[in-house]
Structures are given as structure tokens and as C-alpha cells.
Amino acid sequence: MPSADGTLLSLANPLWRTPQVMSWSVTQREQRVNWEAVGAIGEMLAAATVVASLLFVGYQLRQSQRAERAAGQRDLLKQGRAWYVSTRSSPEVFQTISELLEEYEEAAPEKQHVFDTWAFDYLLLTEQVLYMHDDEFVNASSREGFENLALSILSTPGGAQWWQRIQRVWNQDHVAHMNRLLQERHEIPRFDDLLPHFRACREGRPTHDPPAA
């Protein structure tokens, strides 16, 4: 530190230990410590902000995934309902499906086309459910329910004939999956046993019991 006459004071000089000089030195150290503390606090606040931002983004992603999952499940249910009521909208379609569940190969081409459309629609839906389950948009129970209904169609004589023809040109990963399920879930009832009004329609029996006398 320079003296009043411009000369430098050595550290051993007793002037360094005067109250004024000592006070100046302490003040400098305190200011340096204060700035270091401010810097540390700023770094902590910045880190906390980053962590909070990441947590918020993660929360938003989870909420978005839940919304997408719910929307996907609602869409599947709508498609499933539309497929099921397709046989109710036309007695001719209902009759054709009932007949070809028993015998597909010997049916007329126009009836085969009706059955193709009906069975293709549901098989596509089943494939969609499988991949949505793999992406965690559909739970295992829902996937199994859709698959079991498909298996019940393929377990009928006509459904088995149709499957033997179609699986040669279908998605081979899905073909392998469905064939494995056919072996594992062989206790699944056939479609017209599960829904006996299809069998009744084919056999010309009334689909409802007559009223009691």
C-alpha cells in the first residue's frame, strides 16, 4: 500500500497494523466473501430452476400421455362398437356372416366379399390394439379381450378357412402372434357359440324365445 509520500509500505512495516489499514483489509475480505456467497446462491437458484423446469416438463409429458391413452381407448371402443353393429344394420349381412362362419370356401363370391370385409375390419382392429399395447396406450386386459373375440371368429369352421387363405398375405408378425394365441388359448369358444343368435340365424331358428302363453 502506498504511503502518504508515495513510498510503498512493506508488509513488515508497522503502518500496516494501524486501525485504518486493518479496517480496509477486513472490508476487502468481507466484500470478497460476500460476492462469493452471492455467486454460490445464484448457482443454487439456477440449478433449482433447471430441476423445477425438468419436473414440470415431465409432469406435462405424463399428463399428455394419459390424455393420448384415454383418447386411444375411446377410439378403439368406438371402432369396436361400429364393427359389431354392422351386422345389425342389414339382415342380409347378418345372414351372410352367419352362414360363412360355418362354410366359407363353398360360398358365392359376393358372400365371401361381405365376410372378407367384416372379418378384415376386426382383424385390423386387433392388430391396432396389439401395437397400441406395445406402446403402452392400451392395457393388457383390453388387448386380451379384443384378441379373444378375434380368436373366437377364427375358431369357427368358416373363420378357420378364411384365416388359412388370408394369413398368406397378412402382416406376418401379426400372423405369427395370432397363430401362437390359437394354440395357447384353444379353450376360447367359437363365435357362434359365444353369440348363439348367429347359429340360430343360420339354422333358420328364431333368434328370440317365443313369448310364454
Q: Please determine, for residue 105, whether its predicted confidence score (pLDDT) is greater than 60.
A: yes
pLDDT of residue 183: 93
| Alpha carbon distance 196, 52 (integer Å) | 59
Strand partners, 8: 2
- Per-residue pLDDT band for 41 (boundaries 50, 70, 90) equals confident
Question: What residues does each domain of the chain span?
Answer: 18-68, 86-202
Q: Is 188 left (phi over 0), alpha (psi -120 to 50) or beta?
A: beta
Residue pLDDT, tens place only, 160-197: 999 999 999 999 999 999 999 999 998 999 999 999 99
pLDDT > 90: percent of the chain: 45
Task: Give percent of the chain above pLDDT 70.
Answer: 69
C-alpha count within 13 angstroms, C-beta hemisphere, residue 75: 13
